[in-house]
Amino acid sequence: MSKAKSNLAILYARVSTARQFAKDLSIPDQLQQMRDYCAANGYVVADDGEYVEDGRTATNIHRPALQAMMQRILGGDEQIGLLLVHSFSRAFRNMADLTKYLQELKSVGTRLNSVSQSVDDTPMGRFVILFNGLVDEMFSAGNSMNVKRVRRENARRGFFNGSKPPFGYQAIETKVVGHSGYRRVLAIDEIEAAIVREMIVQHLFCKS
């Protein structure tokens, strides 16, 4: 049996942030939909064949689960017929990476497909994958610009963008006039601030 006809599948699921991984149901839902797809289309999920990325961006390939999965597929020890994702953006949001991996997967007879954007294994199908990849990359770039713009404006207005405040401060929520929601601002944490002041005094004393 040729590699192209293998009915073994590997599943790849991803969320963008660690918070999503910890609190969201997205990963279980992605995996269940992919299992259902395999069952309906004659594929069997390979042993230990579910790879999960717990809070990594798809704009680059420096992801532990992705790298382990690709090494397994390209290693040639198994004949993997299908690499399945929920949507192509779960795996790649960079056209150069997508193009590279499509070629490498094809060389070992592995097909890339998506539950929500399923395409056939034809030149037109591969074109659709690449087109979706281009759209995803453009969306990511535009979204990144918008996020940076909002964060700059948020900081300009004196609000805190970070998740963990610097030592000596605490992040508190404050009501913003003219807005229905709250914003986070930095306030002095008196307990930690006392430690900082003592460190400064000790530093100055040692220098004198």
Residue 59 and residue 135 in one domain? yes
Residue 93 and residue 195 in one domain? no
Of 89, 114, 144, which marks where a domain is finished? 144
Distance CA 58, CA 204 (A): 47
| Number of domains the chain is built from | 2
Residue 38 and residue 93 in one domain? yes
**Is residue 153 situated within a structural domain?**
no
**Is residue 74 situated within a structural domain?**
yes
Residue 36 and residue 95 in one domain? yes
Instruction: Please list the pLDDT of the chain residue by residue as tens digits (208 residues).
Output: 344 478 999 999 988 755 544 456 688 999 999 999 999 999 999 999 999 987 666 566 788 999 999 999 999 888 999 999 998 887 887 777 888 888 899 899 999 899 988 777 777 777 777 777 676 666 665 565 666 666 776 677 777 777 788 888 888 888 776 666 777 888 888 888 888 888 888 877 776 6
Residue 72 and residue 169 in one domain? no
- pTM reported for the whole predicted model: 0.59
What is the residue range of 194's domain? 159-207
Tell which residue, 114, 138, 143, has the closest CA to residue 126: 114
Distance CA 157, CA 88 (A): 37
**Is residue 112 situated within a structural domain?**
yes
Residue 28 and residue 88 in one domain? yes
Residue 127 and residue 179 in one domain? no
Counting every residue, how long is the chain? 208
